[in-house]
Amino acid sequence: MMGEDDRAKRTVVFTNLFAEQLHEVFSKTAYQKIRRRILTLAQFPSIGSPIPRASLVERFGSGIRISPVAGFVIIYRENDDSIELLALVFGPTIV
């Protein structure tokens, strides 16, 4: 069984797509909020919603989670010892 201390050790894996999209965030405040959320997700990956829109499941596959922050949505997948950051989508553009 995984305890709190084990979760704190999760590795964060940035996909190329996520890294490119994060690089395009020009607001320093939004960027800082996103970075803080990533750290939180690394410790508590299950806080994101396991019920994403169907269009996101079609694009990124099943088993994804979403976490809204600063007008964006972080799309990620929780693995045994890591979280994989798949995409950073501007909230209003999700259909």
Backbone angles phi, psi at 46, to 5 degrees: -85, 0
Residue 2, pLDDT score:
46
The neighbour count for residue 59, using CB atoms within 10 Å, is 14
pLDDT tens for the chain, 95 residues: list them. Answer: 444 444 456 999 999 999 999 999 999 999 999 999 999 999 999 999 999 999 999 999 999 999 999 999 999 999 989 999 999 999 866 65
What CATH number does the domain containing 21 carry? 3.30.2310.20
| Structural domain boundaries, residue 82 | 4-93
Contact 41, 48 (CB under 8 A): yes
Instruction: Answer left, alpha or beta for residue 71, where phi above 0 means left and psi between -120 and 50 means alpha.
Output: left
Length of the chain: 95
Residue 91, pLDDT score:
80
Our count of domains for the chain comes to 1
Q: What is the pTM of this model?
A: 0.87
